[in-house]
Amino acid sequence: MSTHDDALTRWRLILGRRAEQANPAFRLGGKGEPSESGDAPLQRALPAGMGLTALDRALSFVYDSNERFGGTGDSAPYVPQWLEQMRALFNQSTLAMVQRDAFERTGLAELLLQPEIVPRLQPDVRLAATILSFKEQIPDEVKQTARDLIRQVVDELRRKLETQIVQTVIGALQRNRYSPIRSARNLDWRRTLKSNLKNYLPERKTIIPERLYFWANEKRYRDWQIIILVDQSGSMANSAIYASLMACIFASLQVLETHLVVFDTSIVDLTPYLSGDPVELLFSLQLGGGTDIAQAVAYGANLVKRPEKCIFVLITDLYEGGDEAALLARLRALRESKVQVLCLLALEDGKPVYHKTLARQVAALDIPTVAATPNKLLELMEQILKGVRR
């Protein structure tokens, strides 16, 4: 295969079957065609026994017209084989991406009801959200496998998040309070120097400090309250998983009193379950349905104990099915009471989808309103706990 032919073949695989209709040069397969040339670089990159035509069929399942596969019974016997081919072709991150596209484009989510499918799936957050959405329909013989798959997702996320959360929260709280215990180990050099610059003696090139500042080193119990309200509507499913897991980690820290409340048009307080198994907590979510954000904010406001020591995190796409004016009024009242309110439009990477007009109105209340990853949430919390944002 020439370099030109190899490039054409790669473009044909990218563009799909319709490319052949536009230009016969993109045709795959057939006598003399480059797709079956054993010494071609592209062919050598494929698993043994798979030709380019087979690869094209596998990709067409997701990226071409789905008339052949559109979720009917005839496509089911092919799907396990397709999943095995995808595992052979792609690394884990690419496999997860192709799998997500399959769920969205072909109705593959319905195939979670088939016992032979679940064990072959690549676990990731979106797959976990799909399984949770279908949990009532999943057959009994697959439920344990589905739980095991979600546990893989939870364990991986917890491994990534836990250390960072603990360091951020504990570090911020230790550095926002000063101690009467005067020891060199606890000396805050930066604040001491900054506060005593007026005492600089040019002739001696030194500072004579009038006061020394020391960091606190004592343990603190339930010093801050964090209330997390999570929208369970379909568009927020991935964010609900991230938020629930982060709430479990927050609840494990003695310095925080953590509340987790999920809502659609009804409200469920999951706070009592934060100390248990995170997987069981996730299975208690009811993803999908309508949205009444104002009602949820009213419930959360009643949980506030000390406004000046409370972080109120509202996670939603702001597509309000209830009373927008009531929502804005309740958020304004929280902010005016000195509660630190954050409005997060997402808790994961990806394109944010939210009500832009209402988001601007919330932001105008001096409430950070951002499409945020977990890292961004931690950054905002750190600023609050250190007293940077008041």
Under-70 pLDDT residues of the chain: 1-54, 64-81, 84, 104, 106-114, 174-191, 210, 212-222, 234-235, 347-351, 388-390
Q: What is the DSSP letter of 386?
A: T
**Residue 64 amino acid letter:** D
- State whether 126 and 35 are in the same domain: yes
Which of 263, 382, 253 is closest to 315 using CA atoms? 263
Full domain range(s) for residue 341: 161-172+220-385
| Model pTM score | 0.64
In a domain, 148, yes or no: no
Residues 233 and 292 in one domain: yes
Q: Specify the residue for token string 């929502």.
A: 327
AA identity, residue 217: N
* Rounded distance between C-alpha atoms, residue 22 and residue 36, angstroms: 22
Specify if 274 maps to a domain: yes
Q: Read off the CATH number of the domain in which 359 is found.
A: 3.40.50.410
In a shared domain, residues 20 and 103: yes
Same domain? For 264 and 302 the reply is yes
Please tell me what DSSP assigns to residue 69. T
CA 336 to chain centroid, in Å, comes to 30
195 found inside a domain? yes
Question: Does any domain span residue 152?
Answer: no
| 390 domain-assigned | no
Is 356 found in the same domain as 266? Answer: yes
Count: domains in the chain: 3
On whether both 113 and 242 belong to a single domain, the answer is no
Clarify whether residues 267 and 193 are in a common domain.
Answer: no
Indicate whether 211 and 254 sit together in one domain.
no
pLDDT tens track for 142-151: 788 888 989 9
114 lies in the same domain as 197: no
